[in-house]
Amino acid sequence: MAQFDVKRLRAHGERLHEAGYRRRSIYLSPALSHWLETNRQQNETLGATIERMMGLQRGAHPPYDDTAEARREERAFRKRIRRAENELAHSRRAANWGGSVVLSITLHRKDRKSGVVVTSAGVYEFEGESPP
């Protein structure tokens, strides 16, 4: 199951707001709600359905950055974190006594604007080019 990323959703909401979109919460009658659901196309948002039904030209929505490429990059980064955790655990094994011990591993994301530090105590996110 995919993880829900609140930071990405918040950033997407900010991009929409900057583009002039406004969030509105409304109550719909059961009949109107049913009509919208029956006219909704696969993978279409409620806002897109309303725009299409009203005959409006859809504006260019700012991207959510939820492309297959972004998901693939995130999976690859999570895999790097798992490998770093395994490397830390194996450096402390009894078979490695007398050998070097890895205390922490710093991993940067592709854009080098954020990353994680992996230690035996856990994984810590950081923003910027280097951890604090």
Q: What gap in Å lies between CA 70 and CA 19, rounded to an integer?
A: 22
User: What pLDDT does residue 80 have?
Assistant: 93
Beta bridge partners of 92: none
Q: Does 1 fall in a domain?
A: no
Domain residues for the domain of 123 are 68-127
Same domain for 78 and 116, yes or no, is yes
Domain count, the chain: 2
Q: Does 94 fall in a domain?
A: yes
List pLDDT tens digits, range 11-69. Answer: 888 888 888 888 777 888 888 888 888 888 888 888 888 878 887 666 666 666 667 77
Cβ-Cβ contacts under 8 Å for 99 (sequence gap 6 or more): 91
User: What pLDDT does residue 83 have?
Assistant: 93
Q: Does 61 fall in a domain?
A: no
Lookup result for tokens 């999976």: 75
List pLDDT tens digits, range 58-107. Answer: 666 666 666 777 788 888 999 999 999 998 888 877 777 777 778 889 99
Task: Indicate whether 1 pLDDT > 50.
Answer: no
Same domain for 123 and 73, yes or no, is yes
User: What pLDDT does residue 64 have?
Assistant: 63
Are residues 97 and 107 in contact, defined by beta-carbon separation less than 8 angstroms? Answer: no
Q: Does 59 fall in a domain?
A: no
Q: Does 43 fall in a domain?
A: yes
